[in-house]
Chain A
């Protein structure tokens, strides 16, 4: 981890900041028509640029959150850092697969 882990935490922070803003803005303020409906969102998410962006946000948010949790765990000396790394990697990958599957359903 160390250097790359640290760098990625900074990069994902940037991604989350920008893409989360875009995500919320799109969700709440950009209406495709008079009313926001499930169907419209579904249509919108079929645009590759959007599902890529949402996928990136998902990955970045998961990484950023879990890396932060790992840091807190290590700060408080709960258990072994290596165990945290692996178990959180499993949680992260599982979370991404789950979220990615939902996104895939929208996109296809």
Chain B
């Protein structure tokens, strides 16, 4: 193994033609700053045009290219080969989501969960003429929880979600908390309803896998605990 190249092992499976999955190995020349996404493009363009993966922004903002890289879920575009400190890089699709082809998974189960938590500001009164006033302090509560890019790295890393297809999962719960803590949201009890269910808030075992893998460094567990406190307070009539 020379210093200027590395082996990329890629999970391959086409349900139309293959009976089972395999890993294909490619030798990839290492360029400065090369990311896993760059390496996948190298394979697509130079070695194997049948490779399938998702991409869009290549700047870690669109959430398309989450995959399982050397043992953990990461964004391919955000992961530089050199930071992996390995001569072999193994790439497979996000675990526990249905497979479409190679590294492309069916995201519908994840999107469905996101849709289920009323992921929009709920208002009942007509809005003011100008903007709602929101103090910098109130705004600060939205800082991390609005960073989610829906990449599903957390959802796919959550052992509760693995076993329970009904469980909302970390990203959807963060989305719910994002609106629950927004000073402009008038949802009240209605806001907390979709997540206040066994398959919602109360299934989280605080495993912290989500926090480990989040490419945006969101603390999902903290958000979930925050939403639990808020929900219990309302249930107990304290708020």
- Does chain A touch chain B in the assembled complex, meaning CB atoms less than 8 Å apart? yes
The answer to whether A75 has its CB under 8 Å from any CB of chain B is: yes
Contact: B232 with A3, CB < 8 Å?
yes
Q: How far is the CA of A82 from the CA of B56 in the complex (A)?
A: 44
Contact: B164 with A3, CB < 8 Å?
no
Q: How far is the CA of A2 from the CA of B194 in the complex (A)?
A: 12
Closest chain B residue, CB of each to CB of A9: B202
Q: How far is the CA of A83 from the CA of B159 in the complex (A)?
A: 22
The answer to whether A49 has its CB under 8 Å from any CB of chain B is: no
Contact: A5 with B202, CB < 8 Å?
yes
Main secondary structure of the interface of A (DSSP, over half): helix
Among the interface residues A6, A71, A77, A81, which one has the most CB atoms of the partner chain B within 10 A? A6
CB < 8 Å neighbour of A75 from B159, B200, B202: B159
Among the interface residues A2, A7, A76, A77, which one has the most CB atoms of the partner chain B within 10 A? A2
Closest chain A residue, CB of each to CB of B200: A2
Enumerate chain B residues within 8 angstroms of A71, measured Cβ to Cβ: 205
The answer to whether A30 has its CB under 8 Å from any CB of chain B is: no
Contact: A3 with B163, CB < 8 Å?
no
Q: How far is the CA of A47 from the CA of B143 in the complex (A)?
A: 56
With contacts A3-B202, A5-B202, A7-B232 known, is A75 near B196, CB below 8 A? no
The answer to whether B140 has its CB under 8 Å from any CB of chain A is: no
Contact: A3 with B235, CB < 8 Å?
yes
Q: How far is the CA of A74 from the CA of B205 in the complex (A)?
A: 12
The answer to whether A1 has its CB under 8 Å from any CB of chain B is: yes
Contact: A1 with B198, CB < 8 Å?
yes
Expressed in whole angstroms, the minimum distance between the Cβ of B203 and any Cβ of chain A is: 8
A-B contact pairs, 14 of them (CB 8 A): A1-B202, A2-B200, A2-B201, A3-B202, A3-B232, A4-B235, A5-B198, A7-B232, A71-B205, A74-B163, A74-B203, A75-B159, A75-B163, A81-B198
Apart from A3-B231, A7-B232, A76-B163, list 4 A-B contacts with CB within 8 A: A1-B202, A2-B196, A5-B202, A71-B205
